[in-house]
Amino acid sequence: MIDSAYEPISEDLIRQYDVSGPRYTSFPTADRFVEAFTSQDYIQALEQRRSGVAALALPLSLYVHIPFCESLCYYCACNKIITKHHDRAAAYLRYLEVEVNLHTRHMGVGQVVSQLHLGGGSPTFLSDDELRELMSMLRRSFSLMPGGEYSIEIDPRTIDAGRLDVLAELGFNRLSFGVQDFDLVVQKAVHRVQPAEQVFALVDAARKRGFESINVDLIYGLPGQTPESFDRTLAQINELKPDRIALYAYAHLPERFKPQRRISSVDIPAAASKVSMLARSMAAFMAANYVYIGMDHFALPNDSLAVAKRQGRLHRNFQGYSTQPDCDMIGLGVSSIGRVGATYSQNAKTLEEYYDFLDQGQFAVVRGLALSRDDLVRRAVIMALMCQGQLSFESIELAYLINFRQYFAKEMEILAVQVQQGLVQFEATGIQVTPKGWFFVRAVAMVFDRYLQADRTRARFSKIL
């Protein structure tokens, strides 16, 4: 495992790697999914799991997508539905139950779950009773193991201390607050005004209720931000001291995401300012004793994510970095992505299409991928680099019966440049990411992405820094 020591990163090196690339929550990435993968392929994967050893040995991860939001955040690139009509949630829950029942038909009831995440949209759009209904539905069909990670994304504007009591009662032990920026000018520019005092009060209330881990999401590169204004937010975050911090770069893609058309490109910080914000954020969090987990995630040393990193137990799935063992993930709800065995699948992206499939008694899978042997080899390499910061030639060779240096001869030549930059080291037994290289781990992993190296079309991805 790489050392967590921090050395300041030069802005020149950050500029060099200020490029677009995948986040590698999967490999191959979701843009490689094909419509030829259908619900029948998904059913086959579920039934193979049911009859195989995975069902006995490895617990499941569940993701539930709640697409509704009461108001529009202009920066948002998520699959969401803006509505103040809360009755739409009741109908959505009925269809979620149909989808859950389809899964138990092909997998059986009582599959063990060690990780659950409610995302969106705004999961807290659901009322307390609707959240109770959802969790009851899941517990009837799956077995949520003690000590698992059960998390929910929270819009601070939709919750109070009383609702935190309900979340604790329902078994959630991890919360993720969407903050983005505490600066009022920025909040108005992105149509998401939420006073810092409100977030501080909620985090304090959550700690008093014993939630195991509290995450805060931040975004740099938003309209109206400056390095100096973001410094003030960083100082407030370090005062708040959440267990985890997710720091994302804003990707302005108005041609793909309609809400972003309300943001004028002239209001977006220049590239030099974004680079400065990133460098200053890294320095501020390291000075506050946060451990850099990888990519855009930081955690306090005693948080389970930091402990897993030190022990070489980090894993990565569609929910990001995880302490849970590498396992199958069931995606529930509109647009959700799942992984079962050597397959990926994604549900329909619109409510109408999602409902239509379920009305016909079918899974709403509209695309996916069955991984080839080469995909599996490269996934193992990329995930080792992304999660452990190192890989063993022997472990890959024994698992996939290849000669690593021959199989990846071209990639090793490309990686030699990163060796010269001090990002990785070649060793007799494998490849080691350096402490400095850990900040650029996506760029290291991209070397082994044959799809990306073949077409070089990266505009669809976010910046890697």
Each residue's pLDDT tens digit, 261-291: 999 989 999 888 888 898 899 899 999 999 9
In this structure, are 176 and 206 located in the same domain?
yes
In this structure, are 2 and 55 located in the same domain?
no
In this structure, are 120 and 186 located in the same domain?
yes
Q: Which one of 329, 358, 392 terminates a domain?
A: 329
In this structure, are 8 and 119 located in the same domain?
no
Give me the number of domains the chain comprises.
2
Residue 217 lies in a domain: yes
Residue 259 lies in a domain: yes
Residue 361 lies in a domain: no
Q: Has residue 77 got a pLDDT over 70?
A: yes
Domain that holds residue 185: 28-329
In this structure, are 13 and 61 located in the same domain?
no
pLDDT digits (tens, 9 = 90+) for 388-423: 889 999 999 999 999 999 999 999 999 999 999 899
Residue 347 lies in a domain: no
Mean pLDDT of 5-23: 70
In this structure, are 85 and 131 located in the same domain?
yes
Q: Which one of 329, 362, 394 terminates a domain?
A: 329
Residue 362 lies in a domain: no
In this structure, are 119 and 267 located in the same domain?
yes
In this structure, are 90 and 163 located in the same domain?
yes
In this structure, are 233 and 277 located in the same domain?
yes
| CATH code for the domain of 18 | 1.10.10.920
Determine the pLDDT at residue 460. Answer: 56
In this structure, are 324 and 425 located in the same domain?
no
Residue 56's pLDDT band, with cuts at 50, 70 and 90, is low
Residue 354 lies in a domain: no
Share of the chain above pLDDT 90, in %: 73
How is residue 83 written in tokens?
């509505």
What is the rounded average pLDDT for all residues in the chain? 91
Q: Has residue 456 got a pLDDT over 90?
A: no
In this structure, are 163 and 61 located in the same domain?
yes
Determine the pLDDT at residue 302. Answer: 94
Residue 409 lies in a domain: yes
In this structure, are 405 and 260 located in the same domain?
no
Model pTM score: 0.90
Q: Which one of 276, 295, 329 terminates a domain?
A: 329
